[in-house]
Amino acid sequence: MKKLYIATLILCISIFTHISCSERKVPKDLISYINKVKEAGISEVGEFQVKAVAYILSGATQISFRYDSLAGSYLPMYVSTVCPNPESDTKEEIEKKQIRLNLSDKISYELKKFADIDSSGFVSTEEATRFRSIIEFGFLVNQLIGEDKNNLYLIAAASRKDTTTARKDIEEYLNLARKIRESGISGVPIFRF
């Protein structure tokens, strides 16, 4: 009898929840937002991640890595090369910076297809975050190789990865970098490992 009472109570709660949820109307601004994201083919955070990569590849942002003894790994540092300084930039320098910004936008559009890891036609936040992570990891490895630290153990330690993951990520990066280069986008380093 007790089991029947509990089952009836659960059934009543789930029916009430279903009725109250189905009566709610979806706000028009939410529907509009969802449609804009679908139309763009990329989540908002995903777009930010892909644009960050585009800025790096176009030279609008310089990326380098510094060893942080507290973290025990290398951390990225970003420097903008396109922020105008009205007091010291010449007109030509400002125009060059604008060209780099425009190039970043063009590259960003092209990079979406590489960030769409599952080839679904939509770039999720997770896919774009992984895309940026792999690209930045490739820049880290390239810097470490330039510092004669091209040992897998050193690279794994510098990036806080185990050696298996580091090797897999290096391979993933090099495959991705080659595809990006083949598409006509430069700025992505390719190294021998």
Report pTM.
0.80
Q: Are the C-beta atoms of 43 and 130 separated by less than 8 Å?
A: no
The residue ranges of the chain whose pLDDT is under 50 are 1, 3-5, 7-9, 11-12
Q: Are the C-beta atoms of 97 and 82 separated by less than 8 Å?
A: yes
- Provide CB contacts within 8 A for 22, sequence distance 6+: none
pLDDT for position 91? 83
pLDDT for position 166? 96
pLDDT for position 12? 47
What residue ranges do the domains of the chain occupy?
A: 1-40, 41-182
- Provide CB contacts within 8 A for 150, sequence distance 6+: 144, 193
Q: At what angle do helices 91-115 and 44-58 cross, to 10 degrees?
A: 130
pLDDT for position 13? 57
